[in-house]
Structure 1
Amino acid sequence: MNAKAADFVFHTVSDIEQSVSFYRDTLGLALESLDEESGWAEFALPPTTLALGEVNPAVPLSPGAGGVGVSMAVDDVESAVERLRDEGMAVLMEPQEFPTCAMAMVADPDDNPIMLHRRSDGTHGRRDPFP
């Protein structure tokens, strides 16, 4: 096997409509595709895609804080956390400053963890160029 790239990041969700609303309207991600019948949605999260799939017996994953999350670059971690807190989202980790970055963690409607992240050098996304 020779893995070539990450095609998408995936979260299992319990309600595709509620999750699409959160990721599109609250987080501001661009919805690229939605299949409500199969319970699947995809959002642009450059340089990859964030895929959401409703609970499905064929996929052995369940929603919630199971140690897997996604990190999203934001301009201001503290203001992003405050805005999400004002909208009733759970804050799992308060904003923290580190020598190379600032980060915090919130939960989506299914308690899937989302890291909000800002690098000190102003960069975001994949650091090294694709081969």
Structure 2
Amino acid sequence: MSTVEAIVTGVDFVSMPTQDIERAVAFYGETLGLERSAYVPERNYAEFETGTVTISVVDPVKMGIGAFAPNTSMLALRVEDVAQARAALEARGVSFGGDTFDTGVCHMGFFADPDGNPLLLHHRYAPRVPEG
């Protein structure tokens, strides 16, 4: 445990790069069913709410902030039932990589958005056991 006073108090948003803002808006809003809280296509971004962290979808090239490259770290999306959520997304055309993974404390289903940003459905069914 750290004895240093915390500076960071939370996570406000994560950024998901896109090459096509319209396609990304359709995916996060219609396919995943997330609430859209901001959409400014002329400024090349949109935001979606997950209940804990905002997903900010941006076109970095059109915003002039860099080249497009998909994220390399997965974003875990909390769901009540991975199998049920996976079936609903598969019915909406989402492809998953492999079977649902059971870690012994959670279930995970791996997929990606249309730009190749890695996502996963996640449900923890057992309490986290503290180390040491």
Q: Please report the TM-score for the alignment, with normalisation by the length of structure 2.
A: 0.79
Q: State yes or no: 1:27 paired with 2:32.
A: yes
Identity of aligned residues (%): 29
1:62–1:90 distance in 2 versus 1, CA, 3 Å: farther
1:47 is the counterpart of 2:52: yes
In 2, the alpha carbon distance for the partners of 1:5 and 1:61 equals 28
Q: Which has the higher helix share?
A: 2
Structure 1 alignment gaps of length 5 or more:
123-131
Deviations 1:50-101 (A, max 9, x none): 100013263235243x422311111111222222223322312421112211
2:104 aligns to what?
99
Shift in CA distance, 68/97, structure 1 to aligned 2, threshold 3 Å: same
Measured in 2, the distance between the counterparts of 1:85 and 1:63 equals 25
Higher strand proportion, which one?
1
Deviations 1:7-28 (A, max 9, x none): 2111001111111111111111
- Report runs of 4+ in structure 1 exceeding 6 Å deviation: none
Shift of residue 121, structure 1, vs aligned partner: 4.2
Over alpha carbons, which structure has the higher Rg?
A: 2
The 1:98/1:20 distance shift into structure 2, 3 A limit, reads same
SS at match of 1:91: coil
Task: Report the aligned-residue RMSD.
Answer: 2.2
User: Which sections of structure 2, spanning at least 5 residues, go unmatched?
Assistant: 1-6, 128-132
TM-score (ref. length: structure 1):
0.80
CA contact (8 A) 1:77 1:102 kept: yes
